Amino acid sequence: MEAATQPRPLAGERAQRIHSVAQRGVAGSTFDHVAREAGVSRGLLHYYFGTKEQLLVEVVRRDCEVRLAVLDEQLGGATTAEDFIEVLVSQLEHVVRHQPETWEVVYELFSLSRRNDEIAVELAELMRRTRDHLAALLAAKQEEGVLHLHADPEAITDILFGLGDGIALRMLAEPERDFSATVRAGVVAVRALLV
């Protein structure tokens, strides 16, 4: 029973195929469907995750780890504040255009967290870890002289995520609209915090 309440990472190619839940969401996914696509038994999914909601948490967790690794690599090479900002903007635009399910599954997880205390705890921990990670990166870039932070790194991180999440939501809701001016305005706001 403990295994069902304590999700554990499922490694390898099969874990990657479990990400099909991100494309269908919790409502559109069943353990049978996910197990079939991942090439594992339904029982194994239950053993590792317990519920579809916990499976969704793990999908978001793994996706965040991958995205943070990409940001580490790209932002680590930034030698100016403008380089740093350009990476943030390009990542936002890339994910919204080419991997919209990434944002959709995060929004779904947020909605679930309003009705499920266990998911709320998981989401809060995930947000804390990503905030701490990016805040540490901001602080390191300030020490290198690349950035000149005008507020606490954690506060700036919350602003960056807030802007990114909000703009992404609007871009997904109105895919035909040109958001260039909105993104430029966001850059002005971010520049005021980082330069």
CATH of the domain at 123: 1.10.357.10
pLDDT value at residue 168: 94
Give per-residue pLDDT as tens, 138-165.
999 999 999 999 999 999 999 999 999 9
Query: Is 18 part of any domain?
Result: no
User: Residue 59 — left, alpha, or beta (φ > 0 → left; ψ -120 to 50 → alpha)?
Assistant: alpha
Do 164 and 95 contact (CB within 8 A), yes or no? no
Give per-residue pLDDT as tens, 34-74.
777 767 777 777 777 777 777 777 777 777 788 788 888 88
Residue 23: which pLDDT band, with cuts at 50, 70 and 90?
A: low
User: Residue 145 — left, alpha, or beta (φ > 0 → left; ψ -120 to 50 → alpha)?
Assistant: left
Query: Is 11 part of any domain?
Result: no
Query: Is 178 part of any domain?
Result: yes
Nearest partner of 161 among 66, 59, 81, 68, judged by Cα? 68
What's this model's pTM, rounded to 2 decimal places? 0.77
pLDDT value at residue 15: 45
Distance separating alpha carbons of residues 82 and 190, to the nearest angstrom = 10
- Mean pLDDT value across the chain: 82
Least confident of 27-31, 55-59, 161-165, 191-195: 27-31
Do 161 and 131 contact (CB within 8 A), yes or no? yes
Residue 135: which pLDDT band, with cuts at 50, 70 and 90?
A: very high
Q: Which residue has the tokens 């001016």?
A: 181
Domain that residue 169 falls in: 52-194
Q: Where are the alpha helices (DSSP H) in 9-152?
A: 13-17, 20-28, 31-38, 42-49, 52-76, 81-98, 100-113, 117-144
Query: Is 60 part of any domain?
Result: yes
**pLDDT beyond 90 at 81:** yes
Do 46 and 6 contact (CB within 8 A), yes or no? no
